[in-house]
Structure 1
């Protein structure tokens, strides 16, 4: 599912001036790649996310929630030029947050109720791209299939976290955002990941395919790379959810047959058991 959000602004990035040759006959050196940083932010109904904070009037039940986790993976980040062409962002291989074409965005700091997290945080995607004018960005939420069913116990960062892994067969939790409330003191979770993975029956056997990949792609065609940030809004994701009720798993964990999953999956821009999205509400820019 390709989700397109159209905005009305765009600005050139890069266009660094080439050094003027002293002689017209001197060869012109090719332009050096430019450094690119994409800033991400986590909010709950536009209020900044922070471990230990509570947020009122979330969902159709106007529930006060206390988030306890906020992390997700993205991959295949691309920059889009004004003419519609695109280039892959060459990620900085930092060995902690970015490896190959995958980045972990981590907005919790392990404090207070976020005890399942880590102290370190990461809110940016960093890399290089050819010097050009870019006015858009595209990325996919999740871990790519070729990395999704590896052995997490031997995987390198950022794919080494047990709290973001289901099993060799199921793969990774692409996104984990959890909260508690008076109505759901044991937690209400949003865990996005692939389901229907085969072969089944043994969680230690890597899958060869998954019927529900659950990897939405997001595209912003009018994006100022020097100013804008990409905002993940948990409140917007849960706007149509009744957080006072839960009749399946605790919240939505992506598996079939969960009554709470239809509106959550649709908010990611994903179809779910016949329920079709009209768009997505999780990511926006500001």
Structure 2
């Protein structure tokens, strides 16, 4: 009886060990987190931060304190450049802020139950690869941009980031306020032809207004800066200078230039930055 009991215990131990090993094999790896940090002249921002507009005296505008009320943007198609294999997709995980390899980053400050989302979650990278660059596209791809938001997964169902079926999503929504004024910038596709405003266009819009961003990068970098000062460079912050992507408005022309839209090189936007030198020195 003793032999049989020990044999049973031995078998149970082997079974338990096998289950443990198998569960380890199927256990998901922890996602890689890449934090986007809003900054203004190298100072980190949040909903409570005050900042002065760029060159207000030179632009003929009285100096004042501003805060952002909403600062959100879509990105998609994240890729990394490796020395051996070239550009490779870096896929996102799926959560309430990410779906279809599209993420909505940022925050809406005065919203009830306000939550920020600046941490992009991505699938783990192969650590043996030597990474030199990262790139992604600011905006929503045409194939998903004009679909009914009521039937789309989060974050593509976010009402405040949607113009309508014809225009699609707002790629950037930046809304600033001061004690006496306000300013906004809504970036999205324009010149979209459809049978009616509640119909999706069948072909790409005349002005897609998506921006491909390419930055130096290594697998040790964990932060990408969103530089609000670079976005509003040479813009006098007044309500009259707000922009909703009208191609003929002077303020929009300046903002498009700052973003690298309608330039010969779509990677010229200085809106996003990685501090590669600090990472190397560290």
Aligned to 2:40: 44
CA RMSD of aligned residues (A): 2.7
Q: Does 1:73 align with 2:79?
A: no
Q: Is the alpha carbon distance of 1:258 and 1:228 closer, same or farther for their aligned partners in structure 2, counting shifts above 3 Å?
A: same
Equivalent residue, structure 1, for 2:255: 264
Distance apart, 1:223 and its partner CA = 1.4
Structure 1: runs of 5+ lacking an equivalent:
1-31
TM-score by length of 2: 0.77
Counterparts of 2:260 and 2:148 in 1: how far apart (Å)? 29
Distance 1:35 1:68 in 2: 30
Q: Which residue of 2 aligns with 1:7?
A: none
CA distance in 1, matches of 2:267, 2:219: 27
| Cα distance in 1 for residues equivalent to 2:224 and 2:273 | 6
Q: Larger relative CO (CA 8 A, sep 6+): 1 or 2?
A: 1
SS of residue paired to 2:253? helix
SS class of match (1:246): helix
State the Cα distance separating 1:52 from its structure 2 match.
2.9
Higher strand share: 1
CA distance in 2: counterparts of 1:223 and 1:260, whole angstroms: 32
Could you tell me how far 1:35 is from its partner in structure 2? Answer: 4.6
Q: How many residues align?
A: 241
Q: Tell me which of 130, 136, 141 is aligned to 1:139.
A: 136
Q: For structure 2, which runs of at least 5 residues remain unmatched after alignment?
A: 1-27, 276-282
CA distance 1:245–1:152, change in 2 (3 Å): closer
Equivalent residues in 2 for 1:1-286, closer than 5 Å: 35-60=31-56, 61=59, 62-83=63-84, 85-94=86-95, 96-106=96-106, 108=107, 110=108, 114-116=109-111, 119-128=114-123, 129-131=125-127, 132-182=129-179, 185=181, 187-199=182-194, 202-208=196-202, 209-220=204-215, 222-244=216-238, 246=240, 251-271=242-262, 279-286=268-275
Contact preservation (8 Å) 2:93, 2:121: yes
Matches of 2:267 and 2:77, distance apart in 1: 24
Say if 1:241 and 1:116 are closer, same or farther in 2 by CA, change over 3 A: same
Distance in structure 1 (CA, Å) of the matches to 2:83 and 2:212: 19
3-state DSSP of counterpart to 1:67: strand
Contact 2:36–2:119 (CA under 8 A) maintained in structure 1 = yes
Which stretch shifts more, 225-234 or 69-78?
A: 225-234
SS, match of residue 56 in structure 1: coil
**Using the alignment, how far apart are the partners of 2:207 and 2:232 within structure 1?**
21
User: 1:266–1:278: 8 Å Cα contact kept in structure 2?
Assistant: no
- 1:44, CA displacement in angstroms? 2.1
CA distance in 2, matches of 1:141, 1:98: 14
The structure richer in helix per residue is 2
CA drift of 1:122 comes to 1.5
Q: Once the two structures are superposed, what CA deviation does each residue of 1:29-68 show, in whole Å capped at 9, x if it has no partner?
A: xxx9895332211112222221132212435445432211
User: Structure 1 residues 71 and 82, CA, compared in 2 at 3 Å: closer, same or farther?
Assistant: same
